[in-house]
Amino acid sequence: MIVIQPLVCGAYAENAYLVFDENRPDLLVIDPGDDLPALEKAVRQSGKRLADILLTHGHFDHTLAAAPLREKYGARVHVHPLDAHMLSLPGAAVMNAAVSRLPFAPIRPDAPFPAEERFELTLCGMTFEGLHTPGHTPGGVSLILPAAQAVFTGDTLFAFGCGRCDLPGGNPAALAASLRALLALPGTLTAYAGHGGADTMAAIAARWTVN
């Protein structure tokens, strides 16, 4: 059985997710935000080894714990090549030091996601189907986990809205195209977003009209 454990991190109430197969000794975390103690506690309580860190995009509220987690556990950091520079440039990551518990620690990704529009990767015994979903950032990705009937949408799509596109690298036309692609996914998938609660794609799609 695949377990998805959400953790709300930092001043922006960002959702990080621990994801693991109960029958394996390793786990991964998606978007480790600004709450290192909570993330370390969750990893410790799982009894598993943190092997991979997946970033749906490069904004600081989704990435601040990536560097200390990699240093502590030796986990590999994955991000889309178009957002990789955000991990070393506070301005590009829209760093807000006034509200952050963690400092900005520059980091280079160990294993960038493939640059294709659609890609597949297997980590910790779980196979993800990746979608390049730009618009909020140039290298935004959404990660479908068919075995758990889940899709991790980052800040591209929320249960009741979508990410902003007025920050550096934002693109309204690209965001609209990404939303159309996500809303066409099977309605049985549960969307786990970067902020707010989870909901089925069917319920989310019923609330949306994308021009």
Q: Provide long-range contacts, Cβ within 8 A and 24+ apart, for 197-202.
A: 197/159, 198/6, 198/159, 199/159, 201/151
**Euclidean distance between CA atoms 63 and 59, whole angstroms:** 7
| Domains of the chain and CATH, by start | 2-206 (3.60.15.10)
Name every residue whose Cβ is closer than 8 Å to that of residue 67 and which is 6 or more positions away in sequence: 105, 106, 107
On the question of pLDDT at 47 being above 90, the answer is yes
pLDDT given at position 211: 62
- Detail the DSSP E strand segments found in the chain: 2-9, 14-21, 26-30, 49-54, 76-78, 118-123, 126-132, 141-145, 150-154, 157-158, 161-162, 190-193, 199-200
On the question of pLDDT at 148 being above 70, the answer is yes
Q: pLDDT (tens digit, 9 = 90+) per residue, 89-122? A: 999 999 999 999 999 999 999 989 999 999 999 9
Fill in the amino acid letter for 205. A
What mean pLDDT comes out for the span 67-80?
97
Pick the closest to residue 17 from 182, 50, 186, 164 (CA basis).
50
What mean pLDDT comes out for the span 40-46?
98
pLDDT given at position 206: 93
**Euclidean distance between CA atoms 153 and 141, whole angstroms:** 7
For the chain, the average pLDDT equals: 96
Helix axes 66-73, 36-46, angle to 10 degrees: 40
What mean pLDDT comes out for the span 44-69?
98
pLDDT given at position 210: 65
For residue 171, how far is the Cα from the chain centroid? Answer: 19
The model's pTM is 0.97
Q: pLDDT (tens digit, 9 = 90+) per residue, 150-208? A: 999 999 999 999 999 999 999 999 999 999 999 999 999 999 999 999 999 999 999 97
Asked if 2 contacts 21 with a C-beta cutoff of 8 angstroms, the reply is yes
Please report where in the chains the tokens 């994955």 appear, as a residue.
78
3-state secondary structure of 114: coil
pLDDT bracket for residue 27 (50, 70, 90): very high
* Percent residues over pLDDT 70 in the chain: 99
pLDDT given at position 209: 73
pLDDT given at position 107: 94
**Euclidean distance between CA atoms 144 and 30, whole angstroms:** 12
> Which structure tokens are listed for 115?
């640059």
